[in-house]
Structures are given as C-alpha cells and as structure tokens.
Amino acid sequence: MRTDYNELAKKYDLTRKENIDTINQFLENLSFSERTNILDFGCGTGNFTCALKRITNANVYGVEPADGMRQKAIDKNTDVIFEKGNHEKIPFADNFFDFIYMTDVIHHIPDIDMMFEELNRVLKEGGYLCIITESHKQIESRFWVKYFPTTVEVEKQRYSDIPEIVENATKNGFVFSKIGTTDANHKHSISQDFLILVENKGYSMFHLISNDDYECGLADLRNDYDKQVEIEYSHGETFLWLKKPFKD
Ligand SMILES: C[S@@+](CC[C@H](N)C(=O)[O-])C[C@H]1O[C@@H](n2cnc3c(N)ncnc32)[C@H](O)[C@@H]1O
C-alpha cells in the first residue's frame, strides 16, 4: 500500500522538521557557493530545502510529486524553486546539479533503477549524491520497536538494505564514495513530541500496520510516557555518499 502524501501533508509539519545534524554533514563534506546547484529530491514540505537555502545561499531546488506537500514548501520560501517530479521524471536539464540529496525518501521509490538513471542524468560529472536512510540493522534498533514490533517487517520490506542500494547505484553509473552513520547511544523518557507524532500517525509506517497493533502499541507508549520510563538504545541513520565519475 502506498502512503498518501497529499493526505499526510495536512499534518506533516506538526511532527516533522529539518535535522540540523544532517545539514551539518553536508557542510562538512562539501563546499557551497552562490553558483552551486543543489537538488532536494522528494523534498516534501521543504523543511531541509529551506534550511539549506538559508544556511548556504546556494541555488537550492526541490522536486516533490505530492501537490499537498509541495504547496506547503512553496509557501515557506519563494527563493527556492519547487517543481513537480518523481523518480521517473526530474524536470531539469542534463548535468544541471552539483549535489543531490534525499532524506527519508528512498523507501517510497517503486523503481530504484529508474530513479538512479534519472538522478544520474541531472547530476554533473564529479557531483555527489547523498542518500539518507536507515539500514535494516538500524530499523531493528529504533526505540519504538518495543511498542510497535510489527513495524520491523513492514519496514524491511519497503526499505532496501544498504548493499542493495549500492548495487543499484553502481549499475546506473554511480561509484561508491563512503558511508557514514549517526549511530549513538541514547537514554531518555518518551517525549511529548514523540507521543503527539504517534497519535497523528506522523510516520508512514503507522499506516501500514494493523489497527490493533497500532492501538496496542499506543496504549503501552502512553503508559510509559505517563510513568516517565527511561529507555536505552543505540540508533542512528545512514549517510550513503555516491559520486558520478568524470568520463575518461
Ligand atoms: C517521509 S517524506 C520525506 C520528505 C522530506 N524529504 C523530509 O525529509 O522532510 C517522503 C517524501 O517522498 C516523496 N515521494 C514519494 N514517492 C516519490 C517518488 N516516486 N519520487 C520522489 N519523491 C517521492 C513523498 O511525496 C514524500 O514527500
């Protein structure tokens, strides 16, 4: 079942915002100027797109298929160009972008081969693509698995694991550059923000498990929230860096 992002758009920004650590990873690895063309692929409501524009003043563009999500992005920053597009068609010329990134998008792509072909077309030679996602191991280590264990299988089915992504990318003209993770140990109680996120089904996976599993997990979560139970776990995201090589 596909996630309806036109429907989710109504509540998306109540529970999701840009992560400054992700932006810092970009800044540590690349240099940006007013002549740099950057694409946020699957930019959603433009949270990362607008933050990157504010911080770098590069030419930042967003491509997003869902009209509801894209309109929220357009309303946030008129200095960023947001276009309708998807893995089949990115409405830009060949070799246009210096850098392309996607946050939390690859698991929604029905044809990863086609996506890499299209991303390769619009990326300049020598340009970088950064995919921010979670490995299967990271999916297993999310703290909310304790409350929603059936999300693990659902998520592993829609998230390609990292070696599979690399294999697809290299088949379509990219070379592997490096992998970074933000894995770290955490210890905290359930925050009110997280409880609100779950109550609003702010992650698409909550639409993919049974209602019984969702309600049961939510009851346990509320219980731990009320008691301020501390949870300990190690978790993070994967930053997969790929490069479009120069032709000989
Ligand atoms: C979890 S949201 C992430 C949005 C944004 N990148 C962020 O981090 O806030 C996933 C996004 O992927 C978009 N998406 C879904 N299918 C896509 C496709 N085939 N091509 C490009 N983007 C797609 C959705 O519309 C949605 O905005």
Give the max Cα distance, the chain: 63
Ligand 1 binding site (Cβ under 6 Å of any ligand atom) = 5, 16, 42-44, 47-48, 64-66, 69, 86-87, 103-105, 108-109
Q: Which atom of ligand 1 is nearest to the CA of 18?
A: 9
Q: How far is the CA of 102 from the centre of ligand 1 (A)?
A: 8
Q: What is the mean pLDDT of residues 140-147?
A: 97
Q: What is the mean pLDDT of residues 22-41?
A: 96
Model confidence at 24, in pLDDT bands (50, 70, 90)? Answer: very high
pLDDT tens, position by position, 185-210: 999 999 999 999 999 998 889 999 99
Q: Which of 17-21, 35-39, 53-57 has the lowest mean pLDDT?
A: 17-21
Q: What is the mean pLDDT of residues 7-28?
A: 87
Q: How far is the CA of 85 from the centre of ligand 1 (A)?
A: 11
Q: How far is the CA of 30 from the centre of ligand 1 (A)?
A: 23
Q: How far is the CA of 98 from the centre of ligand 1 (A)?
A: 21
The H or E element spanning position 71 is helix 67-76
Q: What is the mean pLDDT of residues 167-180?
A: 98
Alpha-carbon distance 226 to 235, whole Å? Answer: 24
Cα distances (angstroms) measured from residue 190 to each of 147, 234, 236 = 12, 15, 17
Q: How far is the CA of 104 from the centre of ligand 1 (A)?
A: 7
Mean pLDDT of the chain: 95
Smallest CA separation from ligand 1 atom 27, residue: 44
Alpha-carbon distance 143 to 207, whole Å? Answer: 18
* Among 68, 11, 44, residue whose Cα is nearest residue 200: 11
pLDDT tens, position by position, 66-119: 999 999 999 998 899 999 999 999 999 999 999 999 999 999 999 999 999 999
In this prediction, residue 13 carries a pLDDT of: 80
Q: Is the separation of the CB atoms in 29 and 49 below 8 Å? A: no
pLDDT tens, position by position, 233-242: 999 999 999 9
Alpha-carbon distance 51 to 19, whole Å? Answer: 9
Smallest CA separation from ligand 1 atom 18, residue: 86
Q: What is the mean pLDDT of residues 46-51?
A: 96
Smallest CA separation from ligand 1 atom 4, residue: 44
Alpha-carbon distance 182 to 234, whole Å? Answer: 10
Say yes or no: domain 5-135+158-184+236-243 is CATH 3.40.50.1100. no
- What do you get for the CA distance between the two ends of the chain, in Å? 43
